[in-house]
């Protein structure tokens, strides 16, 4: 066999590759609105946790521009399951219901009761031990892109138990926060490290973190049930429809309809949290 | 067991009859390159004596002594005929000539060769030669076996850019994909853009969609049997190509003074494929190598050694690295005991592994599945009316679902290793091809398969023996409560399964050109791909059946009508099937499968069903060849709560499988204009893939959250496109050794933006929800150059 590789190659490469994404109009179903209960009894480390707000609203069509449809006229109470102490939340007539006398108790379960439109909804949850943010550090190299600033939050995981966390990064001025959940499955007992970076996307007006940006960093200690709920919620709201994402499913919160109707969307959660407000340098 | 006795009974009867006959046997090869030909017909004209060659090109034909005209034919080859006088057993080898050499003159009128297709009770099978596949227009000109079989009725996939394929409503992991008998666990390069098979090294492929022959087992949906070329045993030959995606080079030639031959074929893609972020830090590429050699020790013994190694590598700025690939090797020994008994022994190894490195969380993840497989298959050509297949196989599996290593001292990751799992799958089968009357032919057999899950690991014991429990309060499925662990020694069997798998096919010939067929097959599948995404990903892991996962069992019934029209110029195949699968693994909402040591806590066991009608009209000869395929089908699954309680997944209702496409039409054609130009075109129309769209939104935690109801109740817009190609062979002297051709193609001619997916999310700039379509391939023109020397 005689051949000369150099003489036989004719290089023809012609790639016109047009993989792309675009925003399209899609007809999606709407099967009527459902009650949404956002009852987050969040207890900041080092505070009394007396002031609490519960939000009630109704779901709207997916592409609706009025994303929030507040619900007033409900009766809401939260009971300490051990003492029977009841906290009534007052209707502010804008979808929010508030109290200033709530008394959270560590390792104690509480039960929420919402009565609206002749339906009664109930849910329970228990406060678990808190976690404190040790410190926040600003770097360039920590995450995906070496050219944009990222924030690194450090805290200590408790090796004795399975821990579940939720973090919330909110850059002041943004329309909505960045949320994430995680567990200590691969990192039990270690110093935990969480990073936050905003992608430098040329197609978007959303800028990456810059000097002067003020970021509220929240770290919540959550229960396993709430972790399961929130993980699925975030997965479905961020990446649903992607072929490598799981098939979305009806999300089941803990607010059960005691009158045999549809359960409410949302969740009654009792969490401890820590918060750091960080100004990017 | 009754069946078994029956078969043995037939065997003895046939043995008795066969004594009066004379047998001729031998091998059929291509006269230009010495490749053995699978499926060629050898028959005695004006009689009903005929046989087709096996995958090693071997045939054995028995007939009463006498003088006959013996013919050998194969589609695409010139039929040869010769006078023979049968007086004693003899060995005759034939070499046949490809007809494209004389394209202008010959329009073949196939004789009985296609008629045998009508006679055989084997149905739901399609064989494609590489030459046919190479003529089908392909995206970026990259010839793709997996994409080409999707043009056949009953075969679809999850969409562009996703790997694997779905046969008759079956999942991707329900296909047994064999490359020279070695199991290939992942058929995709670049997450599904291309397939792992280099067409230059492949001789032909065979896809069984149902009525799977008894020699195959282990998957419930289909068998894709890919056979590598043996290599040119007459001349050294160099083939290659330069395409838009990859370059290929194959070397083949004779070995051991034409007692053997070899082929080595390699393919490599260019490095920065598909990366929009085209700075130098990113790369994505694949390569694969096929090698095969054979040596004919003597008339009765032949050895084959074949190997495959393929690899994909991704590197995103040194932050995320991923590589994966299949490796396989097979040593085979063909032995002809006598002119009626052909046997093959194979020793096969295959492995699939992947590795992920993520630098910013300082993690290194590896996983693999590996198996050793021994097979022994025999075919006994008892008489014209009776042939017997028998064999055994044993597959020893090693599953390494994952090992996580921190890559630095400061990494917050802890070392973790998921339990390795071991198992042995064995099978024994006996089947017969039996001509009962002139018109009625039967193919019947039985396979008995066993699966032993071995120890060497601990298993968790759960409260009430329930790894998954239904939480009545929250209305969700949760992990069961572990109460203890049991350690099983390496030699200890944790759980064993055994299944009888009857396979029956009948063919009744209505006339010379028409037949009706019916088939039933039961198949068992003992290993499962754990994946809850719409399309399988390279990092999904395989899990064996055992204490918690039962083997999948499928029953498929099919009936068909087969007709050759206009002197076999056209053929029509109409088939209808009904298939059920028991013990299909389904995943609870929010199942966490990554790094999951106790998969049993995330799954429930369900079932699936599929039924459909398939029509295939082929034009087999002439300047224009090709086919029209139409499939009307439905595939659904259901998972009840069972012992775990509760209604089950998706409220216990039947729901669309992610690959349930109601209508699927493919038209593919090749037109040979003259010696210089060939043209090809495809037209594809499919119902959109089932997906789940949100049915509302609400505000929670400051973000807009979509609400969903049932799974897969909506569909993507219909998928359709047209591809065209032209092949140009420049003028060349007949004696010139160098043969080059240019292939010009345009994929998706009218630039249809077919949605591979539509995702939903909240726009951070406006706060409003929007739907984003991902369309993978718009119009893609390409040019490639192929050569042969």
pLDDT in tens, A239-274: 655 556 677 888 888 999 998 888 999 999 999 999
Distance from CA of A240 to the nearest CA of B (A): 5
H/E element, B7: helix B2-18
Contacting residues of B for A238, CB less than 8 Å apart: 761
Residue B125 has what pLDDT?
A: 83
Mutate to test the interface with A, among B699, B744, B766 (most CBs of A within 10 A): B699
pLDDT in tens, B25-56: 889 988 888 888 888 888 888 887 888 888 88
Mean per-residue pLDDT for B191-195?
79
Q: Tell me, yes or no, whether A139 and A196 share the same domain.
A: yes
Residue A22 has what pLDDT?
A: 82
* pTM summary value: 0.85
Mutate to test the interface with B, among A4, A223, A237 (most CBs of B within 10 A): A237
Residue in B closest to A38 by C-alpha:
B700
Least confident of A250-254, B366-370, B388-392: A250-254
Distance from CA of B153 to the nearest CA of A (A): 23
Mean per-residue pLDDT for A225-240?
84
Answer yes or no: do B595 and A186 touch at CB < 8 A. yes
Looking at the predicted structure, is the pLDDT value of residue B17 above 60?
no
Number of domains chain A is built from: 2
The answer to whether B328 and B300 have CB atoms below 8 angstroms apart is no
Contacting residues of A for B318, CB less than 8 Å apart: none
Does A7 or B58 have the greater pLDDT score? B58
Whether A7 maps to a domain, the answer reads no
The answer to whether B404 and B415 have CB atoms below 8 angstroms apart is yes
| Inter-residue long-range contacts of B335-340, CB under 8 Å, 24+ positions, other chains counted | B335/B300, B335/B301, B336/B25, B336/B58, B336/B299, B336/B300, B336/B301, B337/B300, B339/B23, B339/B24, B339/B25, B339/B60, B339/B89, B339/B90, B339/B91, B339/B381, B340/B18, B340/B23, B340/B25, B340/B60, B340/B62, B340/B380, B340/B381, B340/B382
CB contact A240 to B (< 8 Å): yes
Q: Tell me, yes or no, whether A95 and A177 share the same domain.
A: no
Residue B697 has what pLDDT?
A: 92
Answer yes or no: do B694 and A256 touch at CB < 8 A. no
Contacting residues of A for B700, CB less than 8 Å apart: 36, 38, 233, 265-267
Contacting residues of A for B319, CB less than 8 Å apart: 144
CB contact A195 to B (< 8 Å): yes
Q: Tell me, yes or no, whether A90 and A58 share the same domain.
A: yes
Q: Which CATH architecture is the domain B125-788 placed in?
A: Beta Barrel (2.40)
Looking at the predicted structure, is the pLDDT value of residue B762 above 70?
yes
Whether A278 maps to a domain, the answer reads no
Least confident of A270-274, B509-513, B526-530, B716-720: B509-513
CB contact A56 to B (< 8 Å): no
Query: Measured on CA atoms in the order B5, B7, B10, B14, is the torsion positive or negative?
Result: negative
Q: Tell me, yes or no, whether A179 and A139 share the same domain.
A: yes
Rounded Cα gap, residues B211 and B218, in angstroms:
14
Q: Is the ipTM of this complex over 0.85?
A: yes
Residue in A closest to B748 by C-alpha:
A18
Q: Which domain holds residue A63?
A: 35-129+252-272
Answer yes or no: do B780 and A232 touch at CB < 8 A. no
Mean per-residue pLDDT for B685-704?
91
Residue B767: which of A25, A176, A231 has the nearest Cβ? A176
Residue A60: which of B697, B760, B773 has the nearest Cβ? B697
Residue B607 has what pLDDT?
A: 95
| Domain boundaries along the sequence of chain B | 2-111, 125-788
Percent of the residues in chain B that have a pLDDT greater than 90, as a whole number = 39
Whether A62 maps to a domain, the answer reads yes
* Other CB atoms within 10 Å distance of the CB of residue A51: 11
Residue A59: which of B414, B707, B755 has the nearest Cβ? B707
* A to B CB pairs, distance under 8 Å: 279
- What band does B105 get if pLDDT is binned at 50, 70 and 90? very low
Whether A5 maps to a domain, the answer reads no
Least confident of B572-581, B656-665, B749-758: B749-758
Residue B758: which of A231, A241, A249 has the nearest Cβ? A241
Contacting residues of B for A31, CB less than 8 Å apart: 695-696, 709
Residue A12 has what pLDDT?
A: 23
Q: Tell me, yes or no, whether A139 and A212 share the same domain.
A: yes
Whether A26 maps to a domain, the answer reads no
Rounded Cα gap, residues B573 and B118, in angstroms:
10
Mutate to test the interface with B, among A142, A232, A247 (most CBs of B within 10 A): A247
Looking at the predicted structure, is the pLDDT value of residue A18 above 60?
no
Residue B281 has what pLDDT?
A: 63
Q: Tell me, yes or no, whether A140 and A217 share the same domain.
A: yes
Residue in A closest to B744 by C-alpha:
A14
Q: Tell me, yes or no, whether A176 and A106 share the same domain.
A: no
Distance from CA of B415 to the nearest CA of A (A): 8
Query: Measured on CA atoms in the order B539, B540, B546, B548, is the torsion positive or negative?
Result: positive
For B6-153, list the strands marked E by DSSP: 22-30, 41-44, 50-52, 58-63, 66-73, 80-86, 90-91, 94-96, 125-129
Rounded Cα gap, residues A72 and A95, in angstroms:
5
Minimal CA–CA distance to B587: which of A186, A233, A223, A248?
Answer: A248
Query: What is the dotted CATH code of the domain comprising B2-111?
Result: 2.60.40.1120
Looking at the predicted structure, is the pLDDT value of residue B448 above 80?
yes
pLDDT in tens, B107-144: 333 333 343 466 777 888 888 888 778 878 777 778 88
Q: Tell me, yes or no, whether A194 and A169 share the same domain.
A: yes
For B620-756, list the strands marked E by DSSP: 624-638, 655-656, 663-672, 677-686, 690-691, 696-700, 703-707, 714-715, 719-728, 739-747
Residue A277 has what pLDDT?
A: 94
- What band does A96 get if pLDDT is binned at 50, 70 and 90? very high
- What band does A83 get if pLDDT is binned at 50, 70 and 90? very high
- What band does B273 get if pLDDT is binned at 50, 70 and 90? low
Residue A14 has what pLDDT?
A: 23
Q: Tell me, yes or no, whether A137 and A211 share the same domain.
A: yes
Answer yes or no: do B693 and A247 touch at CB < 8 A. no
Residue B180 has what pLDDT?
A: 92
Residue B538 has what pLDDT?
A: 72
Whether A17 maps to a domain, the answer reads no
Contacting residues of A for B535, CB less than 8 Å apart: 243-244
Residue in B closest to A174 by C-alpha:
B764
The answer to whether B137 and B723 have CB atoms below 8 angstroms apart is yes
Distance from CA of A87 to the nearest CA of B (A): 22
Mean per-residue pLDDT for B679-694?
91
Mean per-residue pLDDT for A129-149?
81
CB contact A156 to B (< 8 Å): no
Distance from CA of B573 to the nearest CA of A (A): 33
Answer yes or no: do B764 and A63 touch at CB < 8 A. no
Q: Tell me, yes or no, whether A44 and A63 share the same domain.
A: yes
Which residue is associated with the tokens 């010696």? B675
Q: What is the CATH number of the domain that holds A79?
A: 2.60.40
- Average per-residue pLDDT for chain B: 85
Answer yes or no: do A62 and B785 touch at CB < 8 A. no
Answer yes or no: do B782 and A30 touch at CB < 8 A. no
Q: Tell me, yes or no, whether A125 and A152 share the same domain.
A: no
Looking at the predicted structure, is the pLDDT value of residue A8 above 70?
no
Whether A219 maps to a domain, the answer reads yes
């Amino acid at each position: 066999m005689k051949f000369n590789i150099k003489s036989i190659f004719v290089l023809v490469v012609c790639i016109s590759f047009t993989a792309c994404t675009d925003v399209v109009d899609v007809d999606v179903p709407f099967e009527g609105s459902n009650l949404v209960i956002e009852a987050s009894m969040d207890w900041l480390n080092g505070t009394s946790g007396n002031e609490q707000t519960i939000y009630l609203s109704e779901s709207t069509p997916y592409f609706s521009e009025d994303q929030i449809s507040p619900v007033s006229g409900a009766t809401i109470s939260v009971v300490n399951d051990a003492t029977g102490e009841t906290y009534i939340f007052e209707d502010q007539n804008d979808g929010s219901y508030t109290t200033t006398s709530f008394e959270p108790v560590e390792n104690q379960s509480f039960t929420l009761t919402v009565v609206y439109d002749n339906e009664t909804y109930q849910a329970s949850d228990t406060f678990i031990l808190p976690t404190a943010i040790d410190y926040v550090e600003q770097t360039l190299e920590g995450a995906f892109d070496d050219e944009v600033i990222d924030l690194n939050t450090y805290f200590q995981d408790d090796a004795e138990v399975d821990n579940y966390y939720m973090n919330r990064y909110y850059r002041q001025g943004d329309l909505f926060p960045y949320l994430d959940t995680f567990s200590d499955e691969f990192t039990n007992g270690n110093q935990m490290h969480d990073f936050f970076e905003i992608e430098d996307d040329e197609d978007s007006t959303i800028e990456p973190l810059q000097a002067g940006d003020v970021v509220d960093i929240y770290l919540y200690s959550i229960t396993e049930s709430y972790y399961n709920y929130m993980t699925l919620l975030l997965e479905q709201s961020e990446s649903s429809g992607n072929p490598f994402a799981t098939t979305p499913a009806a999300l089941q919160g803990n607010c059960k309809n005691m009158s045999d109707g549809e359960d409410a969307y949302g969740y009654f959660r009792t969490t401890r949290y820590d918060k750091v407000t960080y100004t990017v340098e | 067991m009754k069946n078994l006795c029956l078969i043995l009974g037939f065997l003895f009867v046939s043995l008795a009859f066969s004594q009066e006959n004379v047998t001729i046997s031998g091998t059929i090869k291509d006269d230009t390159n010495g490749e053995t030909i699978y499926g060629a017909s050898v028959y005695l004209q004006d009689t009903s004596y005929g046989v087709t060659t096996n995958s090693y090109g071997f045939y054995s034909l028995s007939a009463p002594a006498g003088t006959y005209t013996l013919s050998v034919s194969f589609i695409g080859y010139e039929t040869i005929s010769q006078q023979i006088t049968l007086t004693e057993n003899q060995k005759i080898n034939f070499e046949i000539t490809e007809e494209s050499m004389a394209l202008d003159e010959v329009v073949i009128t196939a004789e009985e060769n296609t008629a045998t297709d009508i006679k055989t009770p084997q149905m739901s099978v399609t064989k494609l030669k590489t030459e046919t596949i190479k003529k089908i227009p392909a995206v970026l000109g990259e010839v793709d076996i997996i994409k080409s079989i999707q043009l056949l009725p009953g075969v679809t996939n999850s969409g562009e850019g996703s790997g694997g394929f779905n046969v008759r409503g079956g999942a991707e992991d329900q296909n047994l994909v064999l490359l020279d008998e070695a199991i290939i666990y992942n058929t995709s390069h670049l997450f599904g853009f291309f397939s792992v098979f280099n067409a230059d090294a492949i001789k032909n492929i065979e896809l069984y969609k149902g009525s799977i022959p008894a020699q195959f087992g282990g998957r419930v949906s289909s068998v894709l049997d890919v056979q590598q070329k043996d290599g040119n045993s007459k001349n050294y030959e160099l083939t290659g190509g330069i395409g838009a995606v990859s370059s290929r080079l194959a070397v083949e030639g004779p070995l051991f003074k034409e007692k053997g031959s070899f082929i080595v074929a390699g393919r490599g893609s260019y490095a920065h494929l598909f990366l929009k972020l085209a700075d130098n830090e990113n790369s994505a590429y694949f390569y694969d190598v096929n090698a095969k050699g054979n040596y004919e020790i003597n008339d009765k013994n032949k050895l084959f050694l074949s190997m495959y190694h393929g690899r994909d590598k991704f590197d995103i700025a040194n932050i995320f690295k991923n590589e994966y690939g299949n490796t396989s090797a097979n040593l085979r020994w063909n032995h002809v005991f006598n002119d009626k008994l052909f046997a093959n022994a194979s020793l096969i190894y295959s492995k699939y592994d992947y590795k992920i490195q993520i630098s910013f969380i300082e993690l290194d993840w590896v996983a693999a599945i590996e198996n050793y497989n021994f097979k022994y298959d025999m075919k006994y050509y008892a008489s014209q009316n009776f042939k017997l297949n028998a064999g055994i196989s044993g597959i020893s599996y090693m599953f390494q679902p994952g090992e996580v290593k921190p890559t630095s001292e400061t990494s917050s990751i802890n070392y973790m290793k998921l339990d390795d799992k071991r198992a042995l799958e064995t099978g024994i089968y006996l089947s017969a091809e039996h001509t009962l009357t002139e018109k009625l032919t039967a193919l019947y057999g039985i396979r008995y398969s066993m699966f032993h899950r071995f120890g060497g690991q601990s298993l968790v014991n759960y409260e009430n023996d329930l790894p998954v429990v239904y939480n009545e309060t929250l209305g969700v499925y949760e992990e069961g409560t572990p109460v203890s662990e049991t350690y099983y020694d390496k030699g200890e069997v944790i759980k064993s399964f055994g299944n009888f798998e009857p396979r029956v096919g009948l063919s009744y010939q209505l006339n010379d050109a028409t037949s009706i067929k019916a088939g039933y097959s039961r198949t068992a599948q003992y290993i499962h791909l754990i994946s809850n995404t719409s399309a399988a990903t390279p990092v999904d892991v395989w899990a064996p059946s055992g204490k918690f996962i039962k083997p999948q069992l499928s029953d498929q019934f099919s009936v068909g009508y087969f007709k050759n029209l206009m002197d076999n110029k056209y053929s029509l195949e109409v088939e209808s099937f009904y298939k059920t699968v028991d013990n299909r693994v389904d995943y609870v909402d929010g199942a966490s499968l990554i790094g999951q040591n106790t998969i049993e806590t995330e799954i429930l066991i369900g079932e699936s069903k599929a039924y459909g009608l398939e029509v295939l009209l082929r034009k087999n000869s002439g300047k224009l060849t090709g086919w029209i395929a139409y499939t009307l089908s439905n595939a659904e699954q259901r998972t009840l709560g069972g012992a775990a309680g509760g209604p089950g997944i998706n409220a216990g209702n039947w729901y669309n499988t992610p690959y349930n496409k109601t209508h699927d039409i493919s038209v593919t054609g090749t037109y040979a204009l003259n010696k210089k130009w060939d043209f090809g075109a495809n037209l594809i129309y499919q119902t959109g893939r089932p997906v789940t769209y949100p049915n509302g939104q609400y505000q929670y935690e400051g973000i807009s959250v979509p609400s969903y109801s049932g799974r897969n109740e909506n569909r993507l817009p219909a998928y359709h496109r047209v591809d065209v190609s032209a092949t140009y062979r420049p003028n060349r002297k007949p004696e010139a050794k160098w043969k080059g051709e240019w292939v010009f193609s345009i994929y998706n001619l009218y630039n249809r933006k077919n949605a591979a997916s539509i995702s939903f999310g909240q726009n951070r700039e406006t706060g409003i929800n929007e739907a984003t379509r991902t369309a993978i391939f718009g119009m893609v023109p390409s040019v490639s150059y192929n050569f042969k020397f």
